Each structure stands twice: as structure tokens, then as C-alpha cells.
Amino acid sequence: MKNCIRSIISGPVPRPLAVPASPGVSRYTKLGITFLLAFALLVCLIAPAWCATNMTMSRPNAGAGPTSVNVYLYLVDVFEVSGSDQAFNADVVLIAEWRDPNLAGKWTTIQSTKMEDVWEPRLQVLNQRGVSALLPQRVEIHPEGLVRYRQRWSGRFTARMDLRDFPLDRQRFHVQVISLGYSRDEVELIPDLGGKRSGRAEQLSITDWRFGPARMETADFEPAPGMKALAGVRLIWEGKRQVGYYTVQVILPLVMIVLMGWTALWIAPSMVPARMSVSITTMLTLIAYRFALGRLVPNLPYLTRFDYFTLGSTILIFVVVLIVAATTFLFAQNKTALAERISRWARLTFPVILGVVFLLIWWM
């Protein structure tokens, strides 16, 4: 036992156990280094393009004041003016131009590209009510950095009208364009005040209005009280309603209806059924005619010239009904002479009163 112990003690000292090296460590290291090198190469390739894209989408001269955008509006056609809807249908062409130094020298020829690929002033029609864009959303980029955007809008535009003089009224129409999200401190929309490239077409489709020349002016828009106004411009023009159509189609038939009631006074008081029939029929016809013409104007808090004339005509016919009823009562009381005298007086004064009402309403 002792010899065994001695041999163990005096024997060679055992070497520590060595952990065998894993053959996969160097492979994973190489894969990691390769991945890092590929990622760095990808960043080097993408970063310049990303920086260039970011510069292209930034507002030109952002640190040197507002970006100037020249705006030209041209009225191509007007199809309809609806007083009841307070709107008009028209075609309008827009041309906007601005300079972007970030795009200067990028191409040697004029290039057409999508609008979302470059910075643009976000031009929108403010007073539109269902307008369609007829041209694609693209811009032209010139070698010197000039960017040109063209668009044609067709549809319905709103117009606040003062119809107190209807149908002898004059109205002011406009198409207003604003830079959505940009105030005048950031984007300056410059209207074509000289009218070199703006205005309206000589011939328009509408027939019951006569329009004057169109001109542009600055018209910023305040979204809400206290908020910073958005940069804007507008094309304005004045129009006068052609009264000839309404004279033949509206006013003259109304006068004839009123004169139809006047004929009841020429019937002898003894013919009670005929007198009452003509007067009552005239009153009902006048009321129906008034309802039929209600679509020409909206529901207004005031009366128009046409409303005053209709009201005056209705009162005259109502007076005729009262006179017919009074003379009928007198005839039943055997007061034929008095009934004849009242009818004669009414026959003479009725056209005079109608003429005075007509002149006061339409010529004053």
C-alpha cells in the first residue's frame, strides 16, 4: 500500500485537461466580418442617393426666405351659372413655375417626372365643389433648375352671389388657388398681374351671361381665426346676367297672367260665375307659376326684384278677387249702379297701378 502511494506521489505530474478548439468559431467570425463589410458597402452606395433624394424633396432656398412660385390661371370655358346652388361650372388651366437649385444641372435636356419625386408647393383649388384634374400629376424640369407644373381643372366652383337685383344682377366670380400647408413666409405665390399668360378665352359656352375681362390678384386664405394665413392667388372676373332670356321666358308670361285677371273686371257684374271663375283661376295660376320659378334662386333671407314683382302681382290679383266679391254682393243687394261704378273704376286704375309697380321694381 505504501509502495503504491509512493509510486503515485513520485510519478509524473498529470497535464491539465485542454479544451479542444471548436472548428466553427473561425467560420462564424469570418461570416460576421463579411456581413459587416457588405453592410458598410451598402450604406456607402445608398447614402449618396438618399441624401440627394432628401435634398430634392426639401424646399428650395429654405434658409434664404420664401420660395417664389409664379402662378398663371386661364379661364378656358364657363358652361353654367346656377344661382340656386351658388356655383358655376368651368374649365381652368393652371401653370406654376419655380426654380429649384437642387435640380440645376442634373439633366442636360428637359425632363418630365412625377410630382412626388420633387418638391412642389401643394397647389389646391379653394372654392371647388367637385373638380377633376384632367392632366397627369407631372412636372417639367429644365436644365437650369426651372420646374414647371401644368394642370387643367374641370368641374363645379362655388360663388357667393348677391341676388337682390335678380334677374338684373351683376356677380363677381373667382377661382382661388392656395399653397396647402405653406404660409407666405415660406412660399410666395406671385400672380400674373400683367395678364400676359392669364385671363380668359374670348368665346365661352354660356349664353345667358356676359363676362368681362379676367385678372389675377393676391388672395391669401386664413383657415381659422388666429391661424397663419396660407399663401394664395385668384383669378377674378365680373358677369352680368342676360335679361333678355328672363324677359321672354319669365317676366312677360307673368305680366300676361296678371292681365288675365284684369279681364274679370270687364265681365258684367250680373255674370257672377264667370267673374269668380276668371279671378280665382288667375290667382291659382299665379301661385303655381311662383312655385315653378322657385328653382331659379336659392332660399334667401331677403327678397329679390323678381320676388317683389311677383308679390306685387299677387296683391293686385287678390284685390281683383275682392272687387269681384264686393260687386257680386252689391248686385245681389240690387245696387247695380254702385257695382257698375266700382267695376269701371277698377278697370281704369288696374293697368295704371300695374305699370307703376313694374316701373318701380325694374327701373329703380
pLDDT digits (tens, 9 = 90+) for 153-168: 999 999 999 999 999 9
Any idea how long the chain is? 364
Which of 44-53, 137-146, 207-216 bottoms out in mean pLDDT, i.e. has the lowest? 44-53
CA distance 282 to 258: 7
**What was the pLDDT predicted at 21?**
47
Residue 72 has pLDDT above 90, yes or no: yes
Pairing of strands 199-200, 67-82: parallel
pLDDT at 249: 87
Q: What is the 3-state secondary structure (H, E, C) of 119-186?
A: CCCCEEECCEEEEEECCCCEEEECCCCEEEEEEEEEEEEECCCCCCCCCCCEEEEEEEEEEEEEECCC
- At residue 56, the pLDDT reads 54
Query: Which pLDDT belongs to residue 269?
Result: 83
Tell me what the mean pLDDT of segment 230-241 comes to. Answer: 96
Q: Is the pLDDT of residue 69 over 90?
A: yes
pLDDT band at 51 (very low <50, low <70, confident <90, very high): very low
Distance of CA 73 to the CA centre of its chain: 14
245-262: pLDDT as tens digits: 889 888 999 999 999 999
Amino acid at 190: I
pLDDT score, position 268: 87
% of the chain exceeding 90 in pLDDT? 65
pLDDT of 62: 80
When mean pLDDT is compared across 100-104, 186-190, 207-211, 296-300, the lowest value belongs to: 296-300
Q: How high is the pLDDT of residue 36? A: 63
**In sequence order, which residues have a C-beta less than 8 Å from that of residue 103 and are 6 or more positions away?**
56, 118, 141, 145, 147
Check pLDDT > 80 for residue 115.
yes
CB within 8 Å of 122: residues ≥ 6 apart: 179, 180, 181, 182
Q: Looking at residue 94, what is its pLDDT?
A: 97
* Distance between CA atoms of residues 356 and 166, nearest Å: 19
CATH 2.70.170.10 domain range(s) in the chain: 67-241
pLDDT at residue 316 in the model: 94
Mean pLDDT, the chain, integer: 86
**pLDDT attached to residue 16:** 47
Band (pLDDT 50/70/90 cuts) for residue 64 is confident
Contact 204, 237 (CB under 8 A): no
Q: Give the pLDDT band of residue 47 (cuts 50, 70, 90).
A: very low
Overall CATH class of domain 67-241? mainly beta
pLDDT at 22: 46
- Among the residues of the chain, which ranges form H helices? 2-10, 25-57, 243-246, 252-262, 272-292, 305-332, 336-362
pLDDT of amino acid 41: 55
Q: Give the pLDDT confidence of 29-38 residue by residue, as tens digits.
A: 655 666 665 6
Cβ atoms of 181 and 77 closer than 8 Å? no
Which option is the CATH number for 245-362: 1.10.3720.10, 3.30.230.30, 3.90.180.10, 1.20.58.390? 1.20.58.390
Tell me: the pLDDT tens digits for 187-204? 999 999 888 899 999 999
Q: Which residues of 190-210 are buried (b: 16+ CB within 10 A; e: fewer)?
A: bbbeeeeebbbeeebebeebe
Average pLDDT score over residue span 322-349:
92
Instruction: Please compute the mean of the pLDDT values over residues 117-143 and round it to a whole number.
Output: 95
